[in-house]
A and B are shown apart, each in its own frame.
Chain A
Amino acid sequence: MTVRRLEADDGFRAKRRKTDHDKAGVDPKDNPYLAHIYPEQNGISRKQPFAKFVKHRTTAALAKEVEDGKTNPLTGQPFSSTYYSILKTRRDLPVHAQRDEFLRLYQKSQILVFVGETGSGKTTQIPQFVLYDDLPQTQTERKMVACTQPRRVAAMSVAQRVAAEMDVTLGEEVGYSIRFEDMTGPKTILKYLTDGMLLREAMNDHDLNRYSTIILDEAHERTLATDVLMVMLKSLVQRRLDLKIIIMSATLDAQKFQTYFNEAPLLAVPGRTHSVEIFYTPEPEQDYVEAAIRTVLQIHATEPEGDVLVFLTGEEEIEDAVRKISLEADEMVREVDAGPMKVYPLYGSLPPHMQQRIFEPAPPPRTPGGRPGRKCIVSTNIAETSLTIDGIVYVVDPGFSKQKVYHPRIRVESLLVSPISKASAQQRAGRAGRTRPGKCFRLYTEGAFRKELVDQTYPEILRSNLSSTVLELKKLGIDDLVHLDLMEPPAPETLMRALEELNYLACLDDDGNLTTLGRLASEFPLDPALAVMLISSPEFYCSNEMLSIISLLSVPQIFVRPHSQRKRADEMKNLFAHPDGDHLTLLNVYHAFKGPEAQADPKKWCHDHFLSLRALQSADNVRQQLLRIMEREELVLISTPFEDKKYYENIRRALVAGFFMQVAKKDQGKSMYTTVKDNQKVLLHPSTVLGYDAEWLLYNEFVLTTKHYIRTVTSIKPEWLLEIAPNYYDPETFKDDVRSSLLRVAEKRARKEKMRAEPVKKR
């Protein structure tokens, strides 16, 4: 599809060029028919700002001239006035001073490692520097510059910022592409995208031919996709000699990248940072949340003007701390005439307009000349690298963050509160020195910092279930997964589990080759289990419903449960409750949401029913995207008539087709469940909706805390397991209670089969 678009675009450009020439009068050099005489110009008009530019030979001075010019070289339109004011601030960024140095190294080498501390401007500026030197639009085959981001939000916001800097419309010359949202067009030459998206593109275009330069930003975060991309790009540069790679990292452990990429040259740009004084506690803290709150209040009482940034681990903890700090701060205002303090939460699932509030200035003094106000931001580790907040002078660091963990032995992938790394701690401290010298209060001892924190956060690849990644790698044509040249290869058991799971899902055959189903599943930007579930749903006559359920499972929590109105929220949720469990409850919500009553005023309806409109809308969007893929892959969209009593049963069966590896059986006479195969005792998560004591459940998620929970469950029948996933449910491979139950069910089934078969024989 994209290819077709590009062709159309080329034709369009050719036409426009011709008319330009007509207006400009006759100059043999501009005559496209004489272009072969002046090969270096490659068909570009001299009057165009890029006329003097020769690919990979440009200088900062040359670029400056164009940037200072009157017309936008990308659109041909005159620059707007805001452009010039932004340009001024851009010139102040630390990276700008080293533009020439950057260009020299970039032009010289195929791979470049670039280190720029947060605030150096690397994410916004480097891609533009590249654009002005690489001139991807001038190539015979119009190419693009890609810049990857680990987070969707970052990709979106950076693209928006850069579009403004370049004075173009977002989605035209500058665009972004994230899972379930493509904001690019035929003219796009600079594309911000998540690393996961680039990997998806590589699956269908192994050589990434549409890109002339690929920038891996925030490589120090070592996301799963970045690690896999690095493996891929490392071998790709040998095939595509015209491709340039820039690895950008915010931390100074960049030597690791340099070594990995065969001693690629390195350029470091210092961030614009001030000194940060670090304080440790003399004793370990009993309660880090309490300690953080206390510290903030102390800062507010004793330290001079300046905003405070507190790092905590999760939404609940943050909201709790915000409430407590606000209350105490108000009391301080009343009792000791302290300055006013505004407290803002910041975490990923917070709606964007709430996230924006952190950029509001600190409150003014209550009375003219009174004590200055300050703002306090209580954040997850989002504020550690990806967000830049000016004005922060004090950082409170309890030393924890929520990190994803995966353990192949009990097959649990969960977010756990864990100690951060030394690198993270340094990064956090650095946030205090953005505007002037700051202070960082670490809520642990110096000894603990040295002894208990690991140097670097473990890369995601060591903390994740790799089944999606393995499927992607197989699709990328990489077969030798055992000897994959990863920067830090995971434990063998993790790979073994992934291969095993894919084999049970019939995505890989016994030799480890991609099956047709596997190939199809890899087309969906979903977990393999979900993809398989969706692909096999037409067999259960419920692909429409599965599409909805999977979309709802792919977005953040749709149920809103405000702290102050929990009871009411639960009542509202019960309106949608389905006795068979949460998946069907989700479906009920979606159907109600699409109903005429809700669609009349979705905002009000969602608010009244304690539902997140944003989550539902993005689920709708996801559904559209998945629907398109379904249609493209010619998968039938079908529903069982709602009146049919098998309507819900069919959906539950279809769920089994994907989730058969996540099943729990109830313990005899107890409220507990045991996960089959891994034999872990689990409880139903309090949010679970279930109308009766179900004997067998499938679950979406195993939540690991001090208690073990299963969340988002649906009641199923054991005979479906034997029927739909006979390979996995070989009773001999199970233990104790599960085994005897399965054997009983198998016997019963056999008897039925026999009874059904016998009358036929008699006849």
Chain B
Amino acid sequence: MSRQPSSAIRAGEKKADGAEEDDYMSMTISEPQGKETFTQRKLRKQRMAEARAKVPSKAERAAEDAARREAALSSSILDPSNKGYQMMAKLGFKTGDALGKRASTGNGMATKPETAATAYNCIQPHREPLSLVIKEDRGGIGLDNEKKRKFRDEAGEAAKRTKAEEVEYRDRMRLEREERRTEAHVHAAQKITEGLDSSAEEQIDTTNTAGDPDLGAKLDTGVAASRTRSNIKRTAKINVLYRGLVREREQNEQLLLTRHALETSSPSSFFPNPKLPTYDDSILDHEDEQALGLGQNNLAPVEQEPDEDDLELDEFNALDPHERLEKLVMYLREEHRYCFWCKYQYETEEMDGCPGVTEEEHD
């Protein structure tokens, strides 16, 4: 087996070398010239003998017989060298003619019978012998055609189905991709909105606290304070546009904290006090405690009513991502003069320079 390609290549090379004008593009690969070995010949002979000795199965034989028969039945035997044909030719027969009364070369006969003759002859003349149909089973009339029809129908349906699936798949993939993209946009828009909202609040805070006398003292805790405030903010108070984002984040945080708490402090029968003895370091400030996970306050729920049904949020989430995005984009424009697509906060209410509200307009 391995000899064959190498010898073929060699033969090809030789040929290419020998004749320069050889078109290597249409190079033919010649048969290996090498003599077959004794084993090969033996094998070949054996295979041939097997093929000869093989008794064909009934089905094979029937199929072969039918094929032979059909071959013989489908070829015309009209042959000018045939004696019978020659006799017919003497009477004026030509290939392609049908037998029967001459059309209208009536000799001496009245014209009426002639026209009558053509009337009954107008039944399609037989140029070919009637075809042979061999019935192989006891199937009733119409069964074969019914079977064929059903098969055809099924085949057609299957083809249609695969075609439909193909189209559907592409569409589905496209839609999914788009949806994912829109969701990502929604997410991004939510983040921006939250950020802008909170900075706007801060600004209000700062403006509020600007006149506050003990501003400086509170300044360092400003962030924490605002955060605490936002933390304890009632869910309903958070803008529904990004409430989902906040909740999700909080849930994630909670999950993390719970796990942490579990890992560090959950009691077990084997380790009744898993908490490693820690040194009580007085110099640990609040932040250190937090970092070490010692601050108990961290375990306090961020949100007051996390499990409560939030119809507003559900309603918002049920909306189409495009709609959600649209709402967010509009909110950003109206509240913050921020264009999500330009990624720019404009100075004026008119938002000069922004081509429009949709993504397409920003292309």
State the A residues within 8 Å of B (CB).
256, 259-260, 262-263, 281, 283-291, 398-400, 405-410, 412, 416-419, 443-445, 447-449, 451-453, 458, 462-463, 479-501, 503-504, 508, 510-512, 669-670, 672, 678-681, 704-708
- Is there an interface contact between A497 and B120, defined as CB atoms closer than 8 Å? no
The reply on B34 being an interface residue by CB < 8 A is: no
- What is the bound-complex CA distance between A398 and B143, given in angstroms? 12
| Contact among A448, A484, A503 for B99, CB-based, below 8 A | A484
- Is there an interface contact between B73 and A410, defined as CB atoms closer than 8 Å? yes
* A706 touching B133 in the complex, CB below 8 Å, given contacts A400-B141, A489-B98: no
* Additional pairs, 17, CB under 8 Å, beyond known A287-B137, A480-B91: A259-B120, A283-B146, A285-B140, A288-B138, A417-B135, A444-B141, A447-B142, A481-B91, A483-B100, A490-B129, A496-B82, A496-B85, A501-B84, A503-B84, A503-B87, A704-B132, A708-B65
Interface residue tally for chain B (C-beta within 8 Å): 59
In the complex, per-residue mask of B117-145: 1 if CB is within 8 Å of any chain A CB, else 0: 10110010111111011111111111101
- Is there an interface contact between A453 and B126, defined as CB atoms closer than 8 Å? no
* A489 touching B139 in the complex, CB below 8 Å, given contacts A259-B116, A499-B83, A704-B134: no
**Beta-carbon nearest neighbor of B92 in chain A:** A482
In the complex, per-residue mask of B200-218: 1 if CB is within 8 Å of any chain A CB, else 0: 0000000000000000000
- Is there an interface contact between B99 and A289, defined as CB atoms closer than 8 Å? no
Residues of chain A contacted by B97 (CB below 8 angstroms): 482, 492
Nearest-Cβ distance from residue B138 to partner chain A, whole angstroms: 4
Could you show 12 A-B contacts with beta carbons less than 8 Å apart? A286-B140, A405-B132, A409-B72, A412-B132, A418-B135, A482-B99, A485-B117, A489-B98, A492-B78, A496-B77, A500-B82, A670-B55
* A484 touching B101 in the complex, CB below 8 Å, given contacts A259-B119, A493-B77, A493-B78: yes
Residues of chain A contacted by B85 (CB below 8 angstroms): 496, 500
Residues of chain B contacted by A419 (CB below 8 angstroms): 141
**Beta-carbon nearest neighbor of B100 in chain A:** A489
Residues of chain B contacted by A405 (CB below 8 angstroms): 130, 132
- Is there an interface contact between B91 and A482, defined as CB atoms closer than 8 Å? yes
- What is the bound-complex CA distance between A407 and B76, given in angstroms? 11
- Is there an interface contact between A495 and B141, defined as CB atoms closer than 8 Å? no
- Is there an interface contact between B92 and A493, defined as CB atoms closer than 8 Å? no
The reply on B278 being an interface residue by CB < 8 A is: no
- What is the bound-complex CA distance between A490 and B100, given in angstroms? 8
- Report B131-183 residues with CB < 8 Å from chain A CB: 132-143, 145-146
- Is there an interface contact between A482 and B88, defined as CB atoms closer than 8 Å? yes
- Is there an interface contact between A486 and B139, defined as CB atoms closer than 8 Å? no
Residues of chain A contacted by B57 (CB below 8 angstroms): none
- Is there an interface contact between B72 and A410, defined as CB atoms closer than 8 Å? yes
**Beta-carbon nearest neighbor of A262 in chain B:** B113
The reply on B233 being an interface residue by CB < 8 A is: no
- Is there an interface contact between B139 and A286, defined as CB atoms closer than 8 Å? yes
Of B102, B136, B138, B140, chain A has the most CB atoms within 10 Å of the CB of: B140
Closest 8 CB pairs of A and B: A448-B142, A285-B140, A500-B84, A499-B84, A489-B99, A489-B100, A444-B141, A512-B87
**Beta-carbon nearest neighbor of B81 in chain A:** A733
State the B residues within 8 Å of A (CB).
52-53, 55, 61-62, 64-65, 68-69, 72-73, 75-78, 82-88, 90-93, 97-102, 112-113, 116-117, 119-120, 123, 125-130, 132-143, 145-146
Nearest-Cβ distance from residue A662 to partner chain B, whole angstroms: 16
- What is the bound-complex CA distance between A462 and B119, given in angstroms? 19
| Contact among A285, A408, A451 for B143, CB-based, below 8 A | A285
- Is there an interface contact between B140 and A398, defined as CB atoms closer than 8 Å? yes
- What is the bound-complex CA distance between A412 and B69, given in angstroms? 11
- What is the bound-complex CA distance between A512 and B82, given in angstroms? 13
Residues of chain A contacted by B76 (CB below 8 angstroms): 409, 493
- What is the bound-complex CA distance between A510 and B87, given in angstroms? 7
- What is the bound-complex CA distance between A311 and B91, given in angstroms? 45
- What is the bound-complex CA distance between A493 and B97, given in angstroms? 11
- Is there an interface contact between B69 and A285, defined as CB atoms closer than 8 Å? no
- What is the bound-complex CA distance between A494 and B88, given in angstroms? 12
| Contact among B72, B120, B141 for A679, CB-based, below 8 A | B72
- Is there an interface contact between B116 and A262, defined as CB atoms closer than 8 Å? yes
Nearest-Cβ distance from residue A484 to partner chain B, whole angstroms: 7
Residues of chain A contacted by B130 (CB below 8 angstroms): 405, 407, 458, 462-463, 491
Residues of chain B contacted by A501 (CB below 8 angstroms): 84
**Beta-carbon nearest neighbor of A443 in chain B:** B140
Nearest-Cβ distance from residue B192 to partner chain A, whole angstroms: 68
**Beta-carbon nearest neighbor of A446 in chain B:** B142
- Is there an interface contact between B126 and A488, defined as CB atoms closer than 8 Å? yes
- Is there an interface contact between A483 and B102, defined as CB atoms closer than 8 Å? yes
Of A443, A482, A492, chain B has the most CB atoms within 10 Å of the CB of: A492
- Is there an interface contact between B86 and A705, defined as CB atoms closer than 8 Å? no
- What is the bound-complex CA distance between A633 and B82, given in angstroms? 32
Residues of chain B contacted by A398 (CB below 8 angstroms): 140-141
| Contact among A260, A285, A287, A680 for B120, CB-based, below 8 A | A260
- What is the bound-complex CA distance between A491 and B86, given in angstroms? 16
**Beta-carbon nearest neighbor of B96 in chain A:** A492
- Is there an interface contact between B145 and A448, defined as CB atoms closer than 8 Å? yes
Residues of chain A contacted by B62 (CB below 8 angstroms): 706-707
**Beta-carbon nearest neighbor of B71 in chain A:** A679
Residues of chain B contacted by A291 (CB below 8 angstroms): 140
- Is there an interface contact between A510 and B142, defined as CB atoms closer than 8 Å? no
- Is there an interface contact between A409 and B143, defined as CB atoms closer than 8 Å? no
Residues of chain B contacted by A479 (CB below 8 angstroms): 91
Residues of chain B contacted by A508 (CB below 8 angstroms): 87
Residues of chain B contacted by A497 (CB below 8 angstroms): 77, 84
- Is there an interface contact between B140 and A483, defined as CB atoms closer than 8 Å? no
Residues of chain B contacted by A452 (CB below 8 angstroms): 141-142, 145
- Is there an interface contact between A681 and B87, defined as CB atoms closer than 8 Å? no
- What is the bound-complex CA distance between A752 and B52, given in angstroms? 34
* A499 touching B142 in the complex, CB below 8 Å, given contacts A485-B100, A485-B101, A492-B78: no
- Is there an interface contact between B126 and A490, defined as CB atoms closer than 8 Å? yes
- Is there an interface contact between A284 and B142, defined as CB atoms closer than 8 Å? yes
- Is there an interface contact between A483 and B91, defined as CB atoms closer than 8 Å? yes
- Is there an interface contact between B126 and A491, defined as CB atoms closer than 8 Å? yes
- Is there an interface contact between B128 and A491, defined as CB atoms closer than 8 Å? yes
- What is the bound-complex CA distance between A489 and B117, given in angstroms? 12
- Is there an interface contact between A288 and B132, defined as CB atoms closer than 8 Å? no
Nearest-Cβ distance from residue B130 to partner chain A, whole angstroms: 5
- Is there an interface contact between B142 and A444, defined as CB atoms closer than 8 Å? yes
- What is the bound-complex CA distance between A417 and B129, given in angstroms? 18
**Beta-carbon nearest neighbor of B131 in chain A:** A407
- Is there an interface contact between B139 and A399, defined as CB atoms closer than 8 Å? no
* A483 touching B101 in the complex, CB below 8 Å, given contacts A407-B73, A496-B88, A498-B84: yes
Of A416, A445, A500, A504, chain B has the most CB atoms within 10 Å of the CB of: A500
- Is there an interface contact between A284 and B75, defined as CB atoms closer than 8 Å? no
| Contact among A418, A444, A495 for B88, CB-based, below 8 A | A495
- Is there an interface contact between B135 and A416, defined as CB atoms closer than 8 Å? yes
Nearest-Cβ distance from residue B361 to partner chain A, whole angstroms: 61
- Is there an interface contact between B83 and A500, defined as CB atoms closer than 8 Å? yes
